[in-house]
């Protein structure tokens, strides 16, 4: 099926003008330079930052108070972070994983448990698959009842972990699902649930865990995101939007909690062979109806996504990436895992908006805009 819409995603053939996906690299140039060019906006913020430093050196009572407020957190953080690193080298790390009952969450729970971590696997529904897999692997983990849509369930789960372990060193926000629907057809209930699980659920759990990490002076938060948090695809608008939100949360939260010795990362996952199509993908009835005005797009695109997931690789690389981020404090902010992520994310960075959109249209064989010819505008 993928061969019918182009070989970019799985690189089954390299007889094209594009480089093979794993050979892709953003070109060196202004878009990728580490130092930003001078601009009035940057100069203004740098001036403000310099002004703040001058105020901190003000020996007057007002200046001293400002200095105390400004330096209190970093000063405490440095000592706390050092203390936290010492503790981490001496103790087994405790990991809380949401959505650990299947797929990427299950693979991550098993892998970390087998690597010496104390794993608390959050599950909303049945834990049968998880416990059976743990028994088969010969690893020990603790299941915790956790529904990310329910604030009381989140509070109880975190309290349970704290009572059992005394601290939470790592939080893996994995719980999520995908809504397949057009914007025209998506109901309020579907839209709200998409964000309630993928975005607000992540925030609920993070909110509950952060005080404990802050007091400990250390912690790692890993948000399982998607390459679709960096690009769009049709029929997945709501899911795309939720993953874009996860990326925004990751970038902002890093800046909020870095002074407390807490790291925040995201994993931009590609498509893996999980039960996502069966358990994690919800389709709007009107979008998939025979009389839908989008039926041509649905009949073409949905089988592509389903085949990519059903025939995709096992999600072990996600588990490997989680472990690598935990153990390497210099990990990238966003880690690409999987063919789609490793292909499309660098490509998105290297092209302008119209070029990239055209590439997506060509790759997936999507219909062109009305009046637009194939291959360009």
Give bridge partners of residue 122 from the DSSP assignment: 144
pLDDT of residue 42: 54
Cα–Cα dist 276/350, whole Å: 30
Kindly list the catalytic residues. 239
Burial (CB < 10 A; 0-12, 13-18, 19+), residue 318, is: buried
222 strand-pairing partners: 172, 265
Weakest mean pLDDT among 13-17, 186-190, 214-218, 261-265:
13-17
Rounded distance between C-alpha atoms, residue 343 and residue 11, angstroms: 10
Band (67; pLDDT cuts 50, 70, 90): very low
Distance CA 100, CA 322 (A): 13
C-alpha distance from residue 266 to each of 101, 104, 140, 224 (Å): 20, 14, 26, 6
Interval 26-41 mean pLDDT:
48
Mean pLDDT of 20-43: 47
Q: What are phi and psi of 168, to 5 degrees?
A: -125, 110
In angstroms, the CA 1 to CA 4 distance is 5
Backbone φ and ψ of 154, nearest 5° = -65, -45
SS3 content of the chain, % helix, strand, coil (to 5): 55, 10, 35
DSSP 70-107: HHHHHHHHHHHHHHHHHHHHHSPPEEEESSTTSHHHHH
Phi, psi of 173 (to 5 degrees): -85, 95
In the 3-class helix/strand/coil scheme, how is 215-279 assigned residue by residue? Answer: HHCCEEEEEEEEHHHCCCCCCEHHHHHHHHHHHHHHHHHHHHHHHHCEEEEEEEECCCCCCHHHH
- Residues 174-190 have pLDDT tens digits of 999 999 999 999 999 99
Closest C-alpha to 85, from 329, 332, 266? 329
Instruction: Write out the H or E segment, with its range, that includes residue 113.
Output: helix 103-114
Under 8 Å CB-to-CB from 77, ≥6 apart: which residues? 217, 259, 260, 261
pLDDT, tens digit, for every residue of 160-216?
999 999 999 999 999 999 999 999 999 999 999 999 999 999 999 999 999 999 999
Confidence of residue 311 (pLDDT cuts 50, 70, 90): confident
Query: What tokens were used for 117?
Result: 């971590």
- Could you give the CA distance from residue 242 to residue 235 in angstroms, rounded to a whole number? 13
Query: What pLDDT was estimated at residue 280?
Result: 64
Question: 198 and 242 in contact (C-beta within 8 Å)?
Answer: yes
pLDDT tens digit string along 314-360?
999 999 999 999 999 999 999 999 999 999 999 999 999 999 999 99
φ, ψ of residue 299 in degrees (nearest 5)? -65, -25
d(CA 317, CA 342): 12
The whole-number pLDDT of residue 128 equals: 87
Domains of the chain as residue ranges with CATH: 39-90 (no CATH), 93-364 (3.40.50.720)
């Amino acid at each position: 099926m993928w061969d019918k819409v182009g070989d970019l995603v799985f690189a089954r053939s390299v007889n094209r003008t594009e480089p093979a996906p794993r050979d892709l690299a953003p070109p060196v140039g202004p878009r990728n330079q580490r130092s930003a060019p001078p601009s009035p906006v940057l100069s203004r913020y740098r001036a403000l930052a310099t002004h703040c430093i001058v105020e901190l050196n003000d020996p007057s009572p007002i200046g001293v108070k400002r200095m105390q407020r400004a330096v209190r957190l970093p000063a405490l953080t440095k000592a706390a972070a050092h203390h936290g690193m010492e503790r981490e080298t001496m103790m087994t790390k405790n990991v809380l994983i949401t959505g650990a009952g299947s797929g990427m969450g299950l693979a991550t729970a098993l892998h970390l448990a087998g690597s010496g971590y104390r794993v608390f696997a959050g599950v909303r529904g049945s834990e049968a698959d998880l416990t059976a897999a743990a028994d088969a692997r010969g690893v020990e983990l603790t299941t915790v009842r956790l529904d990310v849509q329910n604030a009381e369930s989140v509070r109880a789960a975190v309290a349970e972990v704290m009572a059992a372990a005394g601290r939470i060193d790592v939080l893996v926000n994995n719980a999520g699902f995908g809504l397949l629907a057009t914007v025209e057809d998506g109901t309020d209930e579907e839209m709200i649930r998409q964000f309630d699980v993928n975005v607000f659920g992540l925030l609920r759990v993070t909110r509950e865990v952060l005080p404990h990490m802050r007091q400990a002076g250390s912690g790692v938060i890993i948000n399982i995101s998607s390459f679709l948090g960096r690009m769009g695809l049709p029929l997945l608008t709501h899911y795309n939007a939720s993953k874009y939100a996860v990326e925004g949360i990751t970038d902002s939260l890093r800046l909020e909690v870095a002074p407390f010795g807490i790291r925040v990362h995201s994993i931009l996952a590609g498509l893996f062979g999980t039960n996502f199509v069966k358990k994690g993908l919800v389709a709007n009835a009107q979008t998939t109806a025979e009389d839908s005005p989008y039926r041509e797009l649905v009949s073409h695109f949905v089988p592509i996504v389903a085949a990519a997931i059903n025939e995709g690789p096992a999600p072990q690389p996600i588990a490997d990436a989680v472990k690598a981020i935990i153990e390497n404090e210099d990990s990238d902010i966003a880690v690409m895992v999987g063919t789609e992520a490793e292909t499309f994310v660098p490509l998105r960075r290297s092209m302008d908006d119209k070029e990239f959109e055209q590439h997506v249209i060509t790759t997936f064989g999507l219909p062109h805009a009305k009046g637009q010819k194939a291959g360009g505008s």
